[in-house]
Amino acid sequence: MLGGLRRRWEAYKYRFVPWIALNLRHKRRTLRFVPEESKDKIASDENVLQTLLTAFRSLFVNDLNRQMCLLNVIPEIKSKYPEIYSVQSKTIPKAVYNDQERQKALNPEEVLFSTLGFSIIRQPSSLESAGIGVFVAKGFVPEGTVVSMYPGTIYENHEPIFFQSIGNPFIFRCIDGVLIDGNNRGISKAIYRSCSKRDQIGPLKMCDVFWLTTAIQNPLAVGQYVNNCSSEKEANVCYQELNIPKCFPVEFKQYLPNINFSHEIERYNCLLLSKSGCAKPHEMNGVTETM
């Protein structure tokens, strides 16, 4: 029994905020000091946002067949994608067309690779007793590039999260005190699904729910599985916050793996960016932020 508890703790501690705080002195060489919130940037918001827009557009265009319901409802969005008209001009029976589209479409990981030049994968971590980690599966990740997003329900620091936090190693605390619950099981999963349904407007999905399942829509939504650095493994990624602007294309919100617990508040907080270039088969290890 004690052996089982010890193994669970070893897997849990890398994502446990109090453990990280108590052990900062053991990892000073991998800490990233942030003197104030405005300096929590290794890449500009404009560059980060452009990377997301590029990746999401590629995912959207690759999946046009499934997006037609949305596009037919909102013609102004449809006009932004000339790829649709070239397809519609062909006189192909619908059943044959759907079959051809399925064969032509790439899986999301391939889309990410063809767009950004790398793909990532979840698999057992190289850190001892750390459970699952995130690795570069293909290609090369340049320094300062967005490598993943931290999914989950976003809670302001005054909102209730006690019951969700019990036995939950996936709660991430942002620099401004905001919490992101990246657990894809139990009460955390139920709350995320409930909030996503609450905010959905007809065919317009306000967030990605596929990260809760084995299916993948946005392959970047694996940030909760990036373990913190250790004395053996120096950090090669760090966390950076980004609030999605109001002008963000509404058709791309389906790829944002975050939802706000409060309907009145809109913010999407945490991304992981590469601190240094890395290629296959490197594991991503996150740097602890201090202020």
Query: Is there a domain that residue 244 lies in?
Result: yes
Query: Is there a domain that residue 100 lies in?
Result: no
Query: Is there a domain that residue 112 lies in?
Result: yes
pLDDT digits (tens, 9 = 90+) for 248-262: 999 999 999 999 999
pTM assigned to the model: 0.81
Q: Where are the alpha helices (DSSP H) in the chain?
A: 2-12, 17-22, 45-62, 64-73, 75-78, 83-88, 94-104, 108-116, 162-165, 186-199
Domain count, the chain: 1
For 99, residues 6+ apart whose C-beta sits below 8 A from its C-beta are none
- Structure token pair of residue 256: 């944002």
pLDDT digits (tens, 9 = 90+) for 105-156: 789 999 999 999 999 999 999 887 788 999 999 999 999 999 999 999 999 9
Query: Is there a domain that residue 229 lies in?
Result: yes
Query: Is there a domain that residue 92 lies in?
Result: no
Based on its alpha-carbon atoms, the radius of gyration of the chain, rounded to whole angstroms, reads 20
Cβ atoms of 181 and 188 closer than 8 Å: yes
Query: Is there a domain that residue 10 lies in?
Result: no
**Residue 8 pLDDT class (50, 70, 90 cuts):** low
Query: Is there a domain that residue 158 lies in?
Result: yes
The position carrying tokens 């250790």 is: 230
Rounded to whole angstroms, how far apart are CA atoms 21 and 157?
Answer: 18
Cβ atoms of 118 and 281 closer than 8 Å: no
Answer yes or no: is pLDDT of 289 > 80.
Answer: no
Q: What number of residues does the chain have?
A: 291
Domain that holds residue 162: 42-87+105-286
Classify the phi-psi angles of 140: left when phi > 0, otherwise alpha if psi is within -120 to 50, otherwise beta. Answer: beta
pLDDT digits (tens, 9 = 90+) for 26-38: 444 344 444 555 5
Query: Is there a domain that residue 175 lies in?
Result: yes
